[in-house]
Structure 1
């Protein structure tokens, strides 16, 4: 009931006129709010009558919700707690900027359609920045005279470049850190990229070629790892074992059993050698080249990589989706959320928040703040005079001001590098602090940034208010005031008569087959239905009572005879079934007693209470409908 009532009374923005549709007291509702609620909750055709009927319901709901607010129900601890719990439940869904996520999904899909053959020169960032810059400059100069591979062998700090000339093999989307993937996919085939700087150092790519994406690869392997610091004899021993296993496979041994027994890849060995599906660029280029050179079902000869000797069985290659359908979007979304793109999305979102919330930084110099931080965090004696205090304001986002104490609290918790190699530089800490502060502000004020979230929170809050005031003003009084119910029954006794009816047992079956089985079992001796029911307790439920004949489930031609079970009637929508055992037929009409009519009396008395209450609310909050706007709403809604 609560869910249904909540839906009836809620609204938010919709593409319709922004004019006021109606006022109630000093409050107003615009046409777009009404139309959105109507389209969300209406089921049948859009007619003027349907719109008018819904308007009556909508106006009534607004009056009741406003009255609940006037009475302070929105301050009730339970309602506040319910709203806070819902906010926390749905908050994670909105923590990524929708526009940014949509863009990254489209970008990832586009990139997934091709693989890039990439070469790489890496200049590591050392403590001697001058030497690093000089090496980078020399590498750039050499590229204008020499082949990329030769320059990689000479200058790259990637150890493998000495052997492979910087050739990384074929790569695809998600193969590289996101910022390097951006560099790779922005470099045309045959061209050398611009120099790109990361925390690790400088990167230069060459796009050696492109091809249509191969897709996702499914393979199994047996890995015989070479022990660290193994000498040549040890390496030959591993090779000999690999050759021996390969010979057994050629003679018909089961690949999965050998992988489980001998492979040093613990994860795949537990699955009979089957590896997690992967794309190009995730493993050693030689490994991937070997797998791709096989046909589905083929097994490779043993080959060596830095990890040891591999024997690989190719299982299949699944092509990438050529259509950005719902399934592909969801798959890409999950991969994005699990990759470093998530951090990038958070960064973009933080920047958006700072722009929209009018970020201001107060006039505190970095030098003074760093000096204060040295004193507070590292217990160093300041070399200059410091005027800062814990309460000194540093920045403002929206309506919130953050002070020096907020900065030092964050910096103290994040001062040290995760690898334990020392402290992080203050500028880097500040950038992280500013981003996290912006994201925290976003979470606390999400209603101001996300209309969909605001609507959902508003709908839930107002739905709870609607339910609470209906419970207190209508439903509970209608059920609990015994004297009022009895008086209402006496006054309206003529409305509570039995039509033709029967004493019967109604059976409800979970499915058609259960209904048939029980019907066949109970029909020979209907009076013993309780005993028979014990064998169908989990499939059949029963309700023994007096029912009017139109309440009994029966086919048109099924006769109603005392002492007989009516054949089951199947609900085609869900395959449930119902049928009845008639014990006594009541001919004609006769008055219902108060006990027999109580359910009907409660419903009618509840309707009367609600009607009288609504009339009082309309006097308290006079309703006025703008007829011009209403005509426009009818015209536009009927045209859709």
Structure 2
């Protein structure tokens, strides 16, 4: 009875879903859109919206209808035929399909291998002899012989570094003698990684090949992975062009900041005030966590990882970007395998090692799909391929008799044609296959080709195999079209419609106003007496250089200066309540004392067009888009099935 009830429930559920699939919610120029898609998208986004008004079904229908109107407009304009769009859509599908072209057993083995390697960092040097993957046999042999000769010289005792400088075709080898620094799994191409982890410290590998050419590597060290580190830093950039005076000033500034840190001032406050790394200064100098080899500055990495204790601060040091002071926030050891599994699976799927998964998948699709081959055609092909194939001199004969038509059929509907296989044979010739006799070689190539075609057939039918794959592709297809349409109809127009922009700016001038602005020299100190002294100097008309010279010493930086034009609510300026130019009173904030020399006061005024152009373009885009949907409703014939929609509302509101 339980089974019977379950079957009945399943039947009615299936019936309800199929009925929804066929229920037309609305049409746009007679193109039907069904309730099933509307409900799926609504339910999918329900938990993502925070504003309850966006959950209102009437408003959501308007949004959904507007979305589909834009998609219809895109098709009407033929944007789906754009080569760039098609390439991007195909690229996305390829990426999405990788999740389905997978073998979990092989994937797990590769994940565990990668994790074992991640626990160690390898330092290696290499020598590269470049050769293209598809190079001719003679070029490949020439490169191989060259790398073998270099290996022989190493085996006889010649210095690896010297040989790398002289013979390696890696452009960086002249400077680094082939030294690649430390790395772990996924930092190098897979064959290189394999060779590095299998070679002992102090030993040199045998020649091996990657897509770049032939390599020899020497492992110089292996150590435990240092994990990742989170630090904050203060940075004073080096001058864009060499300038001894500016370089000295940068060095002096970082040393002054370091003195203030040693005096007990807040690292974060100083980073906020003086660090020239704009992306981190507002966060107190905080950087995203990183691991070995992830930064372009080895000096910065080594200093950061060299800090031992939480909140420890480095002395000033120089990198190729400028001067830094680093504060250790936290060290992050290597996580457990289970914690890293998801991340590692994604990396495996994007890496060269995914080919191992593909080979395993080929076995599965052979079991899933049937295929029939035409033995007569295969025999005819064997008769036209000569021994010239082994010398890479074979060509497809002009007479195509017997090598046309179908050579195989997958699952009864996937037709494979003979000329495609013959071209495949021709292209494989450059790989130097030595299998003999020819008949055996053709059988070998046919099986390899069939593996590729079976996986291709499986890939092409993912929409039929997996309904969720179909839904995601449908959404991305429409979304990508909508992006192209918005760029064409709204975003580009908003940027280039100068007349419309100027008109919009004039009509909304009050929305683009400068607050009161102050041209100031802002002086700060942690010592109230010092800042009062600085104020007295300002009143006497002394220069900033004079004030710093009088109040700062070699051992202690007592006062720092920041100059520029700022709005009145910038940082501490609001506390001064400035009415006119002149020397302000002393105010305090967060343990600092401030005084300002206000050189000019600019009252609130509308921003000039160029002063607010960025925000203006964004607002103009929104203005154009809000009026656009109404225009589309006039352009297309829209019919909403209100009875069907009311039925949906009734179901969802229960």
Q: TM-score range by the shorter chain?
A: 0.3 to 0.5
Q: Which has the larger radius of gyration?
A: 1
Please report the TM-score for the alignment, with normalisation by the length of structure 2: 0.43
Please report the TM-score for the alignment, with normalisation by the length of structure 1: 0.44
Structure of higher RCO (CA pairs closer than 8 Å, 6+ residues apart): 1
